Structure 1
């Protein structure tokens, strides 16, 4: 009887704490929480059937590069980023510095000061566009190393201030399309962004007038994007909703959007389109009907999502106060870990998954690995006879010969 009473007392105390945290008015973070129903993931059959096409990948430049999250290619040369804002290119067996868009900071745990490169692409004139989550979009002359700050995100755009700039695509006419993952929280609190309602956006930037136009609003963590071959539409990865969205730029549907592909077997990250018009979509975190994502499980329950968001905030507050007033390594690291995805890495599957779609949104095939040679990839790009694989967590680049893939 005493055990039951003690158990019920503790359960009641937990319930009271839950209600207090969930319902206490004015407690940050200031976010909205609305229920939604996640799509059911496709089975791993047909084009999604398990394969080993990315097995045997090489780890190149291991220990010489940090967090090469995004990739771009021009004239057969691969470009990527490294922690600290370094933009480098691959020349033979060397990494050659191109430019740096980093900002002065004590270490990577001060990511909001340092900056964080999330996306990059080239235009038809050979200029490289690089997206920093905290500072916006830079335009780089890769021949001279000259850097221009093309789009800043410190001022409101269409009524809201962008907190996470993510990816970029550039049309043949120089028009810049870019995504904002959130207008609520910055990237060092990206976990919170996954819990709240959709505040991601798709923009069009006119380089002549230097103005941004809002194309899509309320995208649930707008991530990678790519233009179609004819540039009549752009495809955006809606990460939290595990789907791809198409926005029409031309034609009878101009100005409207629709689902390009739903029910993805995981969260989509970057999108690349090759010369054949195939969209390559990386899926760093997979899901199945048996093993759904946590975000799927709590999607219909806004009270739980708000509770979790507030718990993360309350955990972070004391260390943030210490760091703001008495900056030091330890509180900086703890603050960084609470809000980032790093502590969740052990939960990420080791298999690599890349999905391939045609211009009509048909799933054609998938590229997978089973040998753990390369893991946790966020970007893939084709250059010469190789696929290159980038990651926000690794200290190397992956590389796989496409001859092997074709042979399979």
Structure 2
């Protein structure tokens, strides 16, 4: 070993100096490793969630088999349809004393309605009295409806009896003074080979002989109305019952959620709200056009429920959901996308889906020819919510609801 090699071996080790650059380099290396670990953990978690979700989407059955439908662009909310706050001038009556007063009728100043717990109520001098029950308890939840019954449309007959359409049990005549109940049409009896699964509304002639009523579906029950709308099922019908011959016959078929019905003042035609299609159809029951049908109003600004006469000779139409223009309508958007509808109802319940439906209440008055005379709005449903009917009496509109715990009353002089 020469001297130079010996010096190199004996040279002391220099201490390592840690600089900011070195620290940054080490930190970068550690950070890169941590990021890799995080990404791997995130991807593992994502895959563990996505695979079951994908499996649910692919392999779970959907409760609906939607049919694609198409809408025209909604009418602009302008002119007569210009949004306003007139429904917010209504007052709530009997709040939390009744639930779901779908339809309202009156004999003098006494009001009658049917509620979500299957009761027929009389409201007189501010007091509520139960005069009849069409089903039997216990009642309290939506699942109880098929047993409790669900009174929907209600009308007054020529002898001051009440005619009631119950979604599950059929058509009834009720005598308020005695509480006597007579079933006229049983939902257990198929009509022309199809079940009456969702009896909805009714209207009758002045002499009480003919009753025209809707069956919204032969497949879906009222508790599944959201599924009926989203599936766009076309198995609804308009029917006629003759109280003398006891015969029931089908006047119109192939309807998508036929809902409210109203006989014209001249009793020559019946109007039928076709809720899913946002329109009102007309069927002629007498005169030269008897047996014919046409469109009364199409492409409405909302989804029509019950139709009732107005004192001006026209018609009140209640809507619990609108088709905003400009704006967004979920039903319009999904109308031609059945695959999205299937996925939604594989993953979400009806109640959850309903939470995404804006509470925009609307009542329109139509002329005798179907043009818009005026409109009353409650954007976001601050006062009047889930409106199903506008019943005019003594200068007021009494607003029924299919789920709210009150009746609203609007003084027409104020609007």
TM-score range, shorter chain: 0.7 to 0.9
1:92 to 104, 118, 125: 125
2:105 to 66, 72, 76: 72
> Residues 69-92 of structure 1: CA distance to partner in whole angstroms, max 9, x if unpaired?
111122243211233222222222
Indicate the SS of the match to 1:216. Answer: strand
Retained in 2: the 8 A contact 1:77–1:383?
no
Output aligned runs, 1:152-301, within 5 Å.
152-173=186-207, 174-196=209-231, 197-301=233-337
Q: Distance in 1 between matches of 2:84 and 2:327?
A: 20
Retained in 2: the 8 A contact 1:195–1:306?
no
Q: Distance in 1 between matches of 2:293 and 2:383?
A: 38
Indicate the SS of the match to 1:240. Answer: helix
Asked if 1:347 is matched to 2:356, the reply is yes
Aligned residue in 1 for 2:185: 151
Q: Distance in 2 between matches of 1:59 and 1:168?
A: 26
Retained in 1: the 8 A contact 2:62–2:342?
no
> Residues 87-132 of structure 1: CA distance to partner in whole angstroms, max 9, x if unpaired?
2222222223332223222532322211112211112222211111
Indicate the SS of the match to 1:50. Answer: coil
Output aligned runs, 1:363-402, within 5 Å.
363-369=372-378, 372-402=382-412
1:202: how far off?
0.5
Q: Distance in 2 between matches of 1:204 and 1:218?
A: 16
1:13: how far off?
7.5
TM-score when normalising by structure 2 = 0.82
Indicate the SS of the match to 1:194. Answer: helix
Retained in 1: the 8 A contact 2:119–2:151?
no
Q: Distance in 1 between matches of 2:287 and 2:116?
A: 41
Indicate the SS of the match to 2:227. Answer: helix
1:28: how far off?
7.1
2:88 to 37, 55, 58: 55
Indicate the SS of the match to 1:378. Answer: strand
> Residues 150-172 of structure 1: CA distance to partner in whole angstroms, max 9, x if unpaired?
11111211121121110010112
Aligned residue in 1 for 2:160: 126
Q: Distance in 1 between matches of 2:49 and 2:164?
A: 52
Using CA pairs under 8 Å that are at least 6 residues apart, name the structure with larger relative contact order, 1 or 2: 1
1:16: how far off?
6.3
Question: Any unmatched runs of 5+ in structure 2?
Answer: 1-35
1:112 to 138, 142, 146: 146
Question: Any unmatched runs of 5+ in structure 1?
Answer: 22-26, 316-337
Retained in 1: the 8 A contact 2:310–2:365?
no
Q: Distance in 2 between matches of 1:77 and 1:349?
A: 33
**CA separation of 1:381/1:117 partners in 2, compared to 1, >3 Å: closer, same or farther?**
same
Retained in 2: the 8 A contact 1:78–1:383?
no
1:357: how far off?
0.8
Aligned residue in 1 for 2:169: 135
Retained in 2: the 8 A contact 1:284–1:378?
yes
**CA separation of 1:13/1:349 partners in 2, compared to 1, >3 Å: closer, same or farther?**
closer
Q: Distance in 2 between matches of 1:9 and 1:63?
A: 46
1:355: how far off?
0.9
**CA separation of 1:291/1:73 partners in 2, compared to 1, >3 Å: closer, same or farther?**
same
Retained in 2: the 8 A contact 1:378–1:391?
yes
Say which is worse superposed, 172-181 or 73-82, in terms of deviation.
73-82
Retained in 2: the 8 A contact 1:84–1:103?
no
Indicate the SS of the match to 2:206. Answer: coil
Q: Distance in 1 between matches of 2:53 and 2:326?
A: 29
Indicate the SS of the match to 1:283. Answer: strand
Q: Which of 1 and 2 has greater Rg?
A: 2
Q: Distance in 2 between matches of 1:44 and 1:28?
A: 35
